[in-house]
């Protein structure tokens, strides 16, 4: 009898194990046809190309095949995660039958000449597909996408790359996700409904798509809704049996606000739990969103800052929910110091003058941060084709716009361009002494210290508050800005591509923006041997040397030393333009230093 009970027990345990295995593995990936009611995208998904019910376009995988992104791949596997062939080919559709998605059970397709709607449907679970699925989680006020092989995804441009990295970056790996209409540059005129619109925050308007000819999932650029660029995709979520996991995330990107009264910063919360918010900092208070449940926003308002010094506040958003791993997030908010309108600034030009001569900044205004953030063409750079030179990538500096103006500090002045009238147009010379123009090739700048009438004569006009700068004879290309994270640069591009620029002219009429009062009796100069001498009437507290791009290169401190003359060893510094920030007991002054 004992033997029978023993065998029975084993049998029951085996049945339980089998049942548990069926519960865990006998699920399916179900198509997501609408945004989740609670805004929660957390879960495990297949990213799927459904052949869009036979779009009638040519290509290896178009019209008769269903693909899913194979996130089990790595950056060193064959094929690689971030390249052609990063797919799993599912059972093909029945040729000639656009309504039959053979791998999808219970789905339907409604297709006309101009519209395709796929609804419902599921894909049976398998170990291979489970490994190929991605995991979506709340992060940085949006959503991260992690592959089965452990990489986080985020666009590095509009060229199909995935930007895979094993370390989560709360800026480059944050997405917005929604269900909506999509289109394709290979099926223009046909609108696809119920598609997954997965937008990367770092890719200048790029979305997760698929190249159905090479079999590659990646990020491609979108001009505007309905999102042209390769083929749209769908999301299929692993059925979790109705279990809702708690999630809580806050956008921790540091914020900056103006010195004026009632200046506000808004912070996004992505959550399905209850949370509260508090702020600590002079002049800061929460005007809305002090508490909430689920997704929401918190608005922090400031009183007027009458000091020339900036002030900082810390916003803390937290939850007491036991199911959340990270229960608190801090966000730094900086309010600018008071800038008295009195002296020099660069002011935006919105109407074409009779004569363009003057000193200017060439500016890309970040539309997502209107009137606050901007990127300027760094005219202080030398010529060359390596990154960080005037005619290459990373030839830009981030600055701040206040009330439509840019402070004329040392960094801005070191980046300016001088426009001078020449025969049939204008020359544009950088602060480093190089004339710029275009020789006819796209994605290039012709920069040289000697003026060339053919390649350096430019026309300048205003269109929609933006400046259109083109070289005479090559009007099909204009000076514009590539804002893709890995390819940031000012360059002459085809006029219809990349981002437009604006011109900000130096205004010293007394109506610009005044810098905080600084000393004028400070001298910085080079001596034989490559050292820099700093002389000041007031005691020097510290010296900081930064590159023209803002990177700190060296810093020396002399607290309470009483020194009024100091020396900086710059023998190993390459030729270029540098900024020396001199802190004395009376304030801080920035001085430009050029090493030839």
pLDDT digits 0-9 by tens, 47-78: 988 765 444 444 566 555 678 899 999 888 88
What's the mean pLDDT in 403-427?
86
Least reliable range by pLDDT among 41-55, 168-182, 407-421, 525-539: 41-55
Residue with tokens 């297949």: 46
d(CA 171, CA 169): 5
Helix/strand/coil percent split, the chain, to 5: 5, 45, 50
Of 368 and 167, the structure prediction assigns the larger pLDDT to: 167
Does residue 468 contact residue 503 with C-beta atoms inside 8 Å? no
Domain pair 25-238 / 248-335, same fold = no
DSSP tag of 123: E
Burial 397-414 (b: 16+ CB within 10 A, else e): bebebbeebbbbbbbbbb
Q: Is the pLDDT of residue 450 over 90?
A: no
Helix (H, G, I), strand (E, B) or coil at 319: coil
| Beta strands, E only, 125-224 | 134-139, 142-146, 175-182, 191-200, 206-211, 216-221
Q: pLDDT tens digit string along 505-536?
A: 988 654 444 334 444 478 888 877 778 888 88
Dihedrals phi, psi of 383, to nearest 5 degrees:
-80, 155
d(CA 390, CA 377): 8
What's the mean pLDDT in 281-291?
93
- Report CA-CA distances (Å) from 395 to 432, 447, 459, 489: 13, 13, 22, 5
CA dihedral 348, 354, 357, 363 (to 10 degrees): 20
Helix (H, G, I), strand (E, B) or coil at 7: helix
Q: What is the CATH number of domain 522-595?
A: 2.60.40.1220
The residues that bridge with 568 in the sheet, in sequence order, are 532
d(CA 195, CA 183): 9
Contacts of 547 (CB under 8 A, 6+ apart): 553, 576, 578, 579
d(CA 420, CA 460): 12
Q: What is the CATH number of domain 248-335?
A: 2.60.40.10
25-238 adopts what CATH topology?
Trefoil (Acidic Fibroblast Growth Factor, subunit A) (2.80.10)
Q: Which of 60, 45, 37 is nearest to 196 (CA)?
A: 45
| Beta strands, E only, 23-168 | 28-31, 43-49, 67-69, 87-89, 108-111, 115-119, 122-124, 134-139, 142-146
Number of neighbouring beta carbons within 10 Å of residue 111: 17
Does residue 382 contact residue 316 with C-beta atoms inside 8 Å? no
Q: Is the pLDDT of residue 421 over 70?
A: yes
d(CA 289, CA 579): 42
Q: Which of 369, 342, 337, 343 is nearest to 259 (CA)?
A: 337
Question: What is the band of 94 on the pLDDT scale with cuts at 50, 70, 90?
Answer: very low
345-507 adopts what CATH topology?
Trefoil (Acidic Fibroblast Growth Factor, subunit A) (2.80.10)
Number of neighbouring beta carbons within 10 Å of residue 312: 13
Q: pLDDT tens digit string along 209-264?
A: 888 778 889 887 654 444 445 788 889 998 866 566 788 888 888 888 877 788 88
Helix (H, G, I), strand (E, B) or coil at 10: helix
Average pLDDT over the chain reads 77
**pLDDT confidence of residue 403:** 65
List the domain boundaries for the chain. Answer: 25-238, 248-335, 345-507, 522-595
**pLDDT confidence of residue 103:** 47
Element (H, E) at 477: strand 477-482
Q: pLDDT tens digit string along 109-131?
A: 666 666 777 777 778 787 888 88
Does residue 514 contact residue 343 with C-beta atoms inside 8 Å? yes
């Amino acid at each position: 009898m004992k033997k029978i009970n023993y065998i029975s027990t084993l049998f029951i345990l085996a049945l339980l194990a089998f049942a548990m295995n069926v519960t865990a593995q006998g699920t399916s990936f179900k198509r997501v046809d609408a945004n989740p009611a609670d805004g929660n995208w957390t879960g495990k998904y297949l990213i799927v190309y459904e052949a869009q019910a036979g779009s009638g376009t040519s290509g290896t995988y178009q019209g008769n095949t269903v693909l899913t992104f194979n996130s089990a791949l790595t950056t060193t596997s064959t094929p690689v995660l971030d390249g052609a062939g990063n797919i799993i080919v599912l059972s093909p559709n029945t040729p000639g039958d656009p309504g039959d998605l053979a791998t999808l059970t219970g789905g339907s397709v409604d297709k006309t000449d101009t519209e395709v709607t796929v609804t419902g449907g599921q894909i049976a679970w398998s170990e291979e597909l489970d490994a190929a699925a991605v995991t979506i989680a709340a992060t940085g006020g949006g959503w991260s996408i992690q592959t089965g092989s452990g990489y986080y995804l985020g666009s590095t441009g509009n060229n199909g790359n995935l930007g895979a990295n094993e370390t989560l970056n709360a800026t480059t790996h944050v997405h917005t996700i929604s269900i909506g209409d999509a289109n394709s540059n290979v099926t223009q005129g046909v609108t696809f409904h119920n598609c997954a619109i997965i937008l990367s925050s770092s890719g200048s308007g790029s979305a997760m798509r698929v190249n159905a000819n090479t079999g590659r999932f990646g990020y491609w650029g979108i001009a505007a809704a309905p999102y042209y660029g390769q083929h749209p995709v769908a999301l299929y979520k692993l059925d979790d049996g109705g279990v809702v996991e708690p999630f809580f995330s806050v956008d921790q990107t540091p914020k900056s606000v103006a010195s004026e009264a009632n200046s506000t910063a808004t912070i996004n919360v992505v959550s399905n739990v209850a949370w509260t918010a508090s702020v600590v900092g002079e002049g800061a208070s929460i005007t809305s969103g002090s508490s909430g449940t689920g997704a929401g926003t918190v608005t922090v308002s400031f009183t007027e800052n009458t000091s020339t010094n900036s002030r900082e506040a810390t916003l803390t958003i937290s939850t007491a929910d036991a199911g959340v791993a990270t229960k608190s997030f801090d966000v730094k908010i900086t309010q600018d110091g008071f800038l008295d309108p009195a002296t020099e600034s660069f002011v935006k030009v919105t109407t074409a003058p009779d004569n363009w001569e003057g000193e200017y900044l060439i500016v890309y205004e970040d539309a997502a941060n209107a009137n606050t953030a901007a990127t300027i063409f760094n005219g202080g750079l030398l010529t060359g084709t390596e990154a960080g030179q005037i005619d290459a990538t990373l030839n830009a500096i981030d600055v701040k716009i206040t009330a439509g103006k840019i402070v004329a500090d040392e960094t801005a002045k070191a980046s300016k361009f001088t426009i001078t009238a020449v025969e049939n147009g204008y020359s544009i010379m950088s602060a480093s002494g190089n004339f710029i123009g275009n020789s006819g090739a796209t994605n290039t700048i012709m920069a040289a210290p000697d003026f060339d009438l053919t390649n350096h004569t430019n026309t300048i006009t205003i269109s929609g508050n933006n400046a259109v700068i083109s070289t005479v004879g090559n009007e099909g290309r204009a000076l514009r800005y590539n804002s893709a994270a890995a390819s940031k640069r000012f360059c002459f591009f085809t006029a219809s591509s990349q981002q437009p620029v604006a011109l900000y002219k130096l205004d010293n009429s007394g109506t610009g923006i005044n810098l905080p009062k600084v000393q004028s009796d400070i001298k910085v100069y080079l001596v034989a041997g490559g050292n820099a001498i700093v002389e000041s009437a007031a005691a020097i507290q510290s010296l900081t040397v930064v590159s023209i791009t803002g990177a700190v290169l060296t810093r020396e401190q002399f607290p309470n030393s009483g020194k009024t003359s100091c020396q900086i060893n710059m023998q190993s510094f390459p030729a270029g333009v540098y900024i020396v920030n001199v802190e004395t007991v009376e304030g801080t002054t920035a001085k430009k230093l050029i090493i030839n």
